[in-house]
Amino acid sequence: MSRYFFDIHAGSLSDWDGEGREAPDVNAAIAHAQYVLEVVIGEITRRGGSQRAIISIRDIGGLSIATVLVPNADAQRRAEPKATQ
């Protein structure tokens, strides 16, 4: 298992993950980030904010390995997170 770090950026707020989470591979890390992004977008929507948010996934060495985002989120009612590697 490898440790991955999930940095969340939503609007003017950023949360840098200093703890990380173990996952069997990068695909599992991306799936976790997609789930977290859905939760974040739900909370932002509940508070009446913009649905723009991304999660950057880093490995233990600090290298960015993927970014999960909601494309065109303001135009969608329920956005599906997408990942780029």
The domain total for the chain is 1
Span 9-32, pLDDT tens digits: 987 789 999 999 999 999 999 999
Which domain covers residue 21, as residue numbers? 2-84
Cβ atoms of residues 55 and 68 within 8 Å: yes
Cβ atoms of residues 57 and 67 within 8 Å: yes
Long-range CB pairs of 25-29 (<8 Å, 24+ gap) are: 26/57, 26/65, 26/66, 26/85, 29/2, 29/4, 29/57, 29/65, 29/66
pTM, to two decimals: 0.78
Span 44-62, pLDDT tens digits: 888 887 778 899 999 999 9
